[in-house]
Amino acid sequence: MTFHVLTLFPEIFSSPLKGSILGKAQERGLVEVRVINIRDYAEGRHRVADDYPYGGGKGMIMKPEPIVRAIRALLEGDPKTWVVLMTPQGVPFDQRVARRLAAFGHIALVCGRYEGVDERVRSFVNEELSIGDYVLSGGEFAALVVIDAVSRLVPGVLGDAEAPEEDSFSGGLLEYPQYTRPPEFEGKRVPEVLLSGDHGRIRQWRRRQALLRTWQRRPDLLEEAALEEDERRYLEGLRGEGDGL
């Protein structure tokens, strides 16, 4: 999996890409991240990549020419690269989108800055993504989120092949509670079922806890989650108890 990141601030990526899972994935050749400085495609001695907005207003707008030149240069090397613009106006990024992107061999992430990119840039990308309804300094931080989430789904990146499927949102539910040693901490004990060694009971407990936590914190996720009939009855029971409170 190769990520091409188009940015005005390439130095932002130097540290995050070296650590933990991402760093090891790159060392093993499973993931490659190529950072492209958009200013390299700007003209003039000062390599200006932004300008004032037509019609007036605060802030600066990223010029279309450098971005489009960078995209075209990238596509000349690999026409199948999937080009994504990181923007607050994009489709919400979630685990389903991450799984879809993981099927691509090459992804280009265009990072907006300032007050955004010239509207004409949008016709040169395949899709637009947003990581949430809040304001960031630039698309670089959003791009790092996408890189991390998608990289985890690349075969071999995680040591345990089943680990991504147990994460929150992977099955449409939040993850069940997790515990480690010691068995008791300040009066709070680890649930006995997790100490039983009965893997069938543990799986059942974890599934019920995932359902309970999702119902309590993100009930909206349950509308599209793949549920068994007994799990639906369990949720109906929870709703009934809630109505009686």
Catalytic residues: 88, 115, 152, 167
Q: Are 5 and 154 in contact (CB under 8 A)?
A: no
Q: Are 215 and 225 in contact (CB under 8 A)?
A: no
Tell me the sheet residues that pair with 50: 62
Q: Please, how many CA atoms are within 13 Å of residue 183, restricted to the half-sphere of its CB? A: 6
Backbone angles phi, psi at 18, to 5 degrees: -90, -20
What SS3 class is residue 77? Answer: helix
CA angle 15–16–18, rounded 5-degree value: 70
Task: Answer whether the bond into residue 219 is a cis peptide, omega within 30°.
Answer: no
